[in-house]
Amino acid sequence: MPPVLLPNAHQFRGHVAGPTKTDAIVITCPAKINLTLEVLGRRESGFHALRSVMVPLGLADEMSLEPAGAFAFSCSDPSLENDDNLVVRAARALGKDGAPPGIRLALRKRVPSQAGLGGGSSDAAGVLLAAMDGALGEQPPRDWMAVARDLGSDVPFFLARTGALVEGTGERVTAAGSIPDWHVAVVKPPVAVSTAAAFAALDRSSRPSRPRDSSVSLRALEALQREDFDAVLASLHNDFQAVIAAEHPEVATALGALERAGASRALLSGSGSAVFALARDAAGVESVLARLDLDPGYARFATQFAPTPAWNTQTAPAR
């Protein structure tokens, strides 16, 4: 029997029947970008309080899931086949006594790793969403947001199934509703950025305090909900950008190349190393990517905000 397609989490609302002995499902796990990223300080727990507007992308990993006698995990990138992979940890969170359920997961990676694009977090969220949507059979009552937060600070965002304002250490997620069909040019420089090292570098720098009522992230969220492209561009911000660009010349090179190619603004995503530029349409992205003066080591992706038709038809806020 051919696989049963489980639509992208951002396109799906409701439940699917759990897989039978012959069924398999395929889950798309979207990347994300941070339109804003404010680091508000380090808590006593060691975690940093954040405020960020994040949106999912059409660029996505793909994961197949099917019943099996014992748990198994494989990946198109063999270096990611280990017990610390977030996919494995998410599966364990669904089992009893830390043992994952009897399923076989096969992950096909398309989202670059260590890029600030949330690929690993999205893969973990894909497992949770499959369970939430009934693909793994009946589940006991769970605080799904708490399960997601235990896996990683970016995982709760992907449970929103659309763009969102993310606060705290990732546990406070305010969904944006439907988001516009804007396009994105993404460049991944040939360098990996350690998130821990990025936070350490940022802690050594000085940053102004930002009261919530004057936050750039709140302005960006409102502009996104209004589909005001120019206002979103004006709100783009990442506290990591100056620090990471200074420590990793490849990131600075990619940012400069995007702007020289005609991007209105270029921004770091997460703590890097990927950078991006927004465009209203696909032609705008294609124009920028065609003009990039970068060597082949800089990976390029033309993508767009992931569609959210469920929000458009069922829960869209009044405009």
CA dihedral sign, ordered 50, 9, 147, 107? negative
Is 109 an annotated catalytic residue?
no
Q: Using the Cα atoms of residue 171, residue 28, residue 65 and residue 273 in order, give the sign of their dihedral.
A: negative
Which ranges of 60-194 does DSSP label H, i.e. alpha helix?
Answer: 86-94, 119-132, 144-151, 155-158
Q: Token digits for 232? A: 């979103």
Q: Is-contact 270 170, C-beta < 8 A?
A: no
**How many angstroms separate the CA atoms of 34 and 54, rounded?**
4
154 is catalytic: yes
CA angle 88, 92, 96 (to 5 degrees): 160
Q: Which of 32, 109, 123, 133 is catalytic?
A: 32
Closest CA to 76 of 66, 65, 59, 61: 61
Catalytic residue among 61, 123, 133, 154: 154
List 4's β-bridge partners, or say none. Answer: 25
Given CA atoms 80, 86, 87, 91 in this order, what sign does their dihedral have? positive
Q: Which of 193, 298, 296 is nearest to 254 (CA)?
A: 298
* Catalytic residue numbers, as ranges: 32, 154
